[in-house]
């Protein structure tokens, strides 16, 4: 045991002596100079190509350092405070409107009348054969002309109402006339449907198609993923937009239609931009109604395994006043505020927070490069494809 202790002591003294000799050697100083030079080169912002600012440079834009953006480290509390999705929906006037009577006559409709008279030789019929009056167009004023009854108003009445009125008018000239009235909806009681549907066109509002969902079914349904389909209804100067799925999830959104409604079905137009050390840099469409920061990173291929800094993932956004006040805890803030949210995926909480943080339309996700990535680029710029250790040894030996 004693011999071993003595041996170890001598070994330590030899290594200490060798270390002092190495530090004092010219070779060691040359290697140190190479490392310092490369580190200086890596720190020079204009010398090495890179996809954007470093984490430190982004921190320099902070309000605390005279910049115009707030840097906020994201935790569960921040994620909850920043939770906000601009609402979609129809105005109350759309939701409260009752269904129109499917058989109400409108200008532009076409009517067919058949009149039986209780005499052998009647005004319009002969020997009990009804007098057919086909294709009577309801004019722009809502009027029609019927022989021996004259020009009468038809718009706003049901076929049964019109039948009763005609019976009274003709009954003064022929005994007990029997009348039928049939309506075929025309362009005066229609809606137009365009966009991502099977059959775009103009459709009449009829008994089976008095609500939005049934009218879309009449047009063949949507031709895009229901998850990202949005339905806009324009009624005069008023409009509203809802998710297609909400027509079935929330019956209030399955509104009653009105003459002249214009219905547009389109895909979700929201997007976010991914930049920096990501799997790919691009402008990306949302693939679902709600998108988390973790899902957004997955859509672009995640972090670059060779260059990304998992502690420096920034989400850049201009927050409306009310949300900025909640996130920053500053109730006196006024106006829209620039906020850079930063995620640290090296921590367990950071992973859960990224999964719960909601991405919004026009957000920018920027993934900074790890410091070692800049160092390796500096090495590569000087030595090409040589490894770091081999490169330093090579230069030191010159």
The contacts of residue 207 (CB under 8 Å, 6+ apart) are 102, 103
Q: How many other C-beta atoms lie within 10 A of the C-beta of residue 244? A: 22
> What percent of the chain is predicted at pLDDT more than 70?
78
What's the average model confidence in pLDDT over 202-230?
Answer: 93
Report the predicted TM-score, pTM, of the whole model to 2 decimal places. 0.66
Q: Is the pLDDT of residue 16 over 80?
A: no
Task: Give per-residue pLDDT as tens, 77-134.
Answer: 999 999 988 889 999 999 999 988 767 888 888 899 988 888 777 777 766 677 788 8
Output the average pLDDT for the chain.
83
- CA pair distance 235, 315, nearest whole angstrom: 38
Task: Report all structural domains of the chain as residue ranges with CATH numbers, in order of start.
Answer: 2-49+376-396 (no CATH), 55-84+271-371 (3.10.560.10), 92-100+189-267 (3.10.560.10), 110-184 (3.30.1950.10)
Mean pLDDT of 323-342: 95
- Confidence band of 278 (pLDDT split at 50, 70, 90): confident
Structure confidence at residue 102 (pLDDT): 65
Between β-strands 131-137 and 110-116, what pairing exists: parallel, antiparallel or unpaired? Answer: antiparallel
3-state DSSP assignment of residue 59: helix
Please give the structure tokens belonging to residue 252: 């209030």
340: enclosing H helix or E strand: strand 337-343
Q: How far is CA 156 from the centre of its chain?
A: 41
92, 156, 209, 327 from 255: Cα distances, Å: 10, 21, 11, 37
**d(Cα 304, Cα 358) in Å, to the nearest integer?**
22
Closest C-alpha to 174, from 113, 130, 112: 130
Looking up tokens 């115009």, which residue turns up?
68
According to the per-residue pLDDT averaged within each range, which of 40-54, 61-75, 177-191, 370-384 is highest? 61-75
How confident is the model over 285-305, as pLDDT tens digits?
998 889 999 999 999 999 987
Hey, which residues does 340 pair with through a beta bridge?
71, 316
Would you say residue 263 has pLDDT above 90? yes
- Contact between 343 and 313 under an 8 Å Cβ cutoff? The reply is yes
More confident residue, 256 or 383: 256
* Distance, CA of 131 to CA of 11 (rounded, Å): 126
Highest average pLDDT, of 36-50, 116-130, 357-371, comes from 357-371
Whether 32 shows a pLDDT value over 60: the answer reads no
Task: Quote the Cα angle for 329-333-339, to 5°.
Answer: 70
Q: Is pLDDT above 60 for 379?
A: no
Distance CA 78, CA 75 (A): 5
Q: Where are the beta strands (DSSP E) in 117-228?
A: 131-137, 143-146, 150-153, 178-184, 190-195, 201-204
Report pLDDT digits (tens) over 178-198. Answer: 899 998 877 667 899 999 999
């Amino acid at each position: 045991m004693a011999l071993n202790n003595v041996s170890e002591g001598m070994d330590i003294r030899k290594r200490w002596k060798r270390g002092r000799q190495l530090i004092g050697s010219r070779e060691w100083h040359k290697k140190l100079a190479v490392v310092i030079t490369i580190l200086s080169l890596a720190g020079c912002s204009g010398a090495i190509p890179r996809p954007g600012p470093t984490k430190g440079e982004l921190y320099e834009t902070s309000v605390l350092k005279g910049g115009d953006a707030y840097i906020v480290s994201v935790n569960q509390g921040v994620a909850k405070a920043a939770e906000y999705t601009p609402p979609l929906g129809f105005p109350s006037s759309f939701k409260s409107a009752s269904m129109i009577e499917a058989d109400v006559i409108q200008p532009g409709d076409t009517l067919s009348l058949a009149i039986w008279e209780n005499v052998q030789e009647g005004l319009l019929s002969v020997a009990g054969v009804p007098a057919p009056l086909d294709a009577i167009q309801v004019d722009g004023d809502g009027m029609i002309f019927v022989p021996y009854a004259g020009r009468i108003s038809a718009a706003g009445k049901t076929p049964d109402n019109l039948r009763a009125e005609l019976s009274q008018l003709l009954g003064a000239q022929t005994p007990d006339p029997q009348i039928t009235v049939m309506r075929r909806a025309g362009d005066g009681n229609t809606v137009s449907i365009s966009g991502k549907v099977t059959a775009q066109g103009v459709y009449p509002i009829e008994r089976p198609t008095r609500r939005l969902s049934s009218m879309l079914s009449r047009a063949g349904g949507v031709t895009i993923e229901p998850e990202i389909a949005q339905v806009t209804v324009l009624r005069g100067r008023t409009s509203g937009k809802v998710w297609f799925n909400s027509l079935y999830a929330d019956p209030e959104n399955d509104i009653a239609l009105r003459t002249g409604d214009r219905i547009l079905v389109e895909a979700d137009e929201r997007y976010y931009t991914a930049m920096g050390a990501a799997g790919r840099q691009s402008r990306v469409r949302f693939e679902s109604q709600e998108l988390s920061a973790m899902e957004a990173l997955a859509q672009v291929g995640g972090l670059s395994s060779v260059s990304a800094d998992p502690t420096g993932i920034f989400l850049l956004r201009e927050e409306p006043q009310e949300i900025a006040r909640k996130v920053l805890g500053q109730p006196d803030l006024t106006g829209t505020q620039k906020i850079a949210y930063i995620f640290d995926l090296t921590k367990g909480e950071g992973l859960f927070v990224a999964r719960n943080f909601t991405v919004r339309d026009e957000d920018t996700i920027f993934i900074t490069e790890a410091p070692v990535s800049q160092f390796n680029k500096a090495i590569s710029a000087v030595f090409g494809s040589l490894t770091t250790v081999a490169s330093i040894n090579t230069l030191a030996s010159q």
